Amino acid sequence: MEFLEKLEAYKKREKELAWEGSFKEYLEIVKKRPYVAQLAHSRIYNMIKSHGIENTGEGKKYRFFASELFGLDKTLAKLVEEYFHPAARRLDVRKRILLLMGPVSGGKSTLVTLLKRGLEKYSRTEEGALYAIKGCPMHEEPLHLIPKELREDFEKEFGVYIEGELCPRCQVMLEEEYQGNIEEVRVERIFLSEEKRVGIGTFSPSDPKSQDIAELTGSVDFSALPKYGAESDPRAYRFDGELNIANRGIMEFQEMLKCDEKFLWNLLSLSQEGNFKAGRFALIYADELIVAHTNEAEYKAFISNKKNEALLSRMIVIKIPYNLKVSEEVKIYEKLIKQSDLTNIHIAPHALRVAAMFSVLSRLKESKKQGMDLIKKMKLYDGEHVEGFVPKDVAELQNEVEEEGMSGVDPRYVINRLSSALIKTDTACINPLDVLRALKDGLDQHPSITKEEKERYLNLVSLVRKEYDEIAKKEVQKAFVYSFEESAKNLFNNYLDNVEAYCNGTKLKDPITDEELDPDEKLMRSIEEQIGISETAKKSFREEILIRLSIYARKGKVFDYNAHERLKEAIEKKLFADLKDVVKITTSTKTPDAQQLKKLNEVGERLINHHGYCPVCANELLKYVGSLLNR
């Protein structure tokens, strides 16, 4: 069986990855591969970097996050460049608690989970390999065995910086089991794992009255007390708190600001000095990233309390807002739906898009910029062309409002409503109108929104409905164009010939009669008017097209139908305008004749074969557009 072969290969690979040897042998590994001794923040940064960095027009995109987090590229770039990178270089920010602050369902937990799972996988690679003293409950870095007096010499010879001291258990083990012979101490390769409690810890707050600090720092092993006689003997102590086991990796503090103060006090010295107090021992060194998350309301309450100033100064706060790009929001819903087993239900084109538009609109703030409304803002943020605005306007809009994306409809609400629509539907397909209906109906059941918010959200549903009306009409009109690309190319080339003649002051030759003709002003204006080019602006627009055409020719590139976004839009709108009457008559008639029926069937087939529709939603779309055109 193929699966059994894979199982055998897995077991073989596990054996190959495992390593155990003496400290002396470990030093040989360090000499050849000094990165095995890197500190936790450095390992996390290199893990993120190893997946690749993409330079986009808006800045850097770290591919490590690409499969799970969408629309947060700027935030994630800030996180990596302002926290992880300097922390990896041993700058002081590594001693700070990383606090992710943002609205519910904004991606904070997903981000932390990504870091955890990423570390687990990375520790199994050559670049992410790490080793520990065998038997140490805190998975101690073996280089801590080297006395302080010799560390400077070690760094000169090996080029490796050593930070930290042996934990109390290892100090006793070195003296009792190895009689101080450092080179004989056993070392093993370890693999970070949250499940096995190796290098990854998670602390969740519960009832402060019943929750014990031992969950963080470990506890006395009363069964071992009779043997070792005192609580101050490390062998009579369980170093199994979340801060202990997270050494060498990452410690997640869930809903940190909900915790009782006594739990937060332990973080004061850990975040500043890199050590914490446990039992009757001296301060214990820990090399770990402490990452916490909270919402805005709790954060504001926390900073308003003067008692929290010491801890606040030891935090790096990164805001994790909601995504504000429609195309990225669609990816969130696609990811969540793929995780279910609803593979038998077809989701019509634009069904998730209308949900995404509703979500993003709810998160945007009104702009004071003249001529800017929420729909235009939404489109600009998503990289769409909006008449009268240029890409630099996006930066101005983003700077206009500080808290944008920190409130609004969360993805969980949308997924809950989508789930309701997917489960309740009697057909094998849901369309955009089903989704809008589900979003609207869900507002009555939403427990936390005010009457004013509900009114605003209902208005947004209406706005999205109007946007979808335009999308639906375009979909059908495009499908009605027989050989759409061919028709568009012919019109495009015709326009270019006329523009070239107009700009150069020459005439065109009729291909049939060889008669010399003036440039067709009526044709050019009928196309330019589709995108709002005025009579006074036509000359500069045509000259711009001609310049672009010559640039392409000089570079040996073809200036085709898709080369100029605005001209492409104008060509499409012109074709749609010419077809509007045909579409209206064909889709709206209740008893189509044989010719109209044939045309409808052709359009339906085109929607199914080329636009992602199924027979059900294609038919619904044609009916809906017919009703729209009859209004």
The amino acid at 494: N
Contact 93, 87 (CB under 8 A): yes
Q: Give the pLDDT score at 231.
A: 82
89 and 220 in a common domain: yes
Flag whether 555 is in a domain: yes
Q: Are residues 257 and 343 in the same domain?
A: no
Which are the contacts of 422, defined by CB distance < 8 A and separation ≥ 6?
337, 342, 345, 347, 430
| Residue 595 within a domain | no
- Among residues 467, 501, 532, which one ends one of the domains? 467
User: Of the residues 572, 590, 606, which one is the last residue of a structural domain?
Assistant: 572
pLDDT digit string, tens, across residues 138-170: 999 999 999 999 999 999 999 999 999 999 999
User: How many residues would you count in the chain?
Assistant: 631
149 shares its domain with 257:
yes
Residue 192: Cβ within 10 Å count:
25
pLDDT score at 631: 67
Q: Which of 572, 597, 624 is the C-terminal boundary of a domain?
A: 572
Give the strand order in the sheet containing 97-101: 200-203, 250-253, 289-294, 97-101, 315-319
What is the predicted pLDDT for the residue at 507? 87
Shared-domain flag, residues 418 and 509: no
Judge whether 9 lies within some domain.
yes
Structure tokens at 514: 């060889």
- Domain match, 84 and 176 both: yes
Cβ neighbours of residue 371 under 8 Å, at least 6 residues apart? 388, 389
Q: Are 216 and 266 in contact (CB under 8 A)?
A: yes
How far is 353 from 328, CA to CA, in rounded Å? Answer: 10
* Claim: this prediction has a pTM higher than 0.75: yes
Same domain for 508 and 454: no
Cβ neighbours of residue 435 under 8 Å, at least 6 residues apart? 351, 352, 354, 355, 417, 418, 421
489 and 444 in a common domain? no
Which 3 state secondary structure label does DSSP give 483?
coil
Phi-psi region of 388 (alpha: psi -120 to 50; beta: other; left: phi over 0): left
Q: Could you tell me where the beta strands, DSSP code E, fall in 102-246?
A: 130-133, 186-190, 200-203, 219-220, 237-238
- Whether residue 133 lies inside any domain: the answer is yes
Strand partners, 61: 54
Classify residue 494: in a domain, yes or no: yes
CATH code where residue 142 lies = 3.40.50.300
Structure-block tokens of residue 538 = 């036509």
- CA 318 vs. chain centroid, Å, equals 15
What is the structure's pLDDT at 509? 82
Let me know whether 56 and 107 are in one domain: yes
Q: Is 469 exposed, middle or buried (0-12, 13-18, 19+ CB in 10 A)?
A: middle
Q: How far apart are CA 110 and CA 127, in angstroms?
A: 24
- What six digits make up the tokens of 26? 């470990």
Q: Are residues 225 and 360 located together in one domain of the fold?
A: no
Total domains in the chain come to 3
pLDDT of res. 208: 67
Same-domain status, 180 and 262: yes
Shared domain check, 269 and 212: yes
The domain in which residue 285 lies consists of 1-319
pLDDT tens, residue by residue, 78-135: 999 999 999 999 988 888 899 999 988 888 999 999 999 999 999 999 999 999 999 9
Q: Is residue 437 part of a domain?
A: yes
Q: Which residue has the tokens 């969980």?
A: 412
Q: Give DSSP secondary structure letters for 69-84.
A: --S-HHHHHHHIIIII
What pLDDT shows up at residue 13? 87
Among candidate residues 324, 300, 292, the one with its CA nearest the CA of residue 407: 324
Residue-level pLDDT at 294: 87
Q: Which residues of the chain have pLDDT under 50?
A: none
Q: Are residues 4 and 58 in the same domain?
A: yes
Q: Is residue 181 part of a domain?
A: yes
293 lies in some domain = yes
Helices (H), 364-519: 374-381, 392-400, 411-424, 432-442, 451-480, 484-504
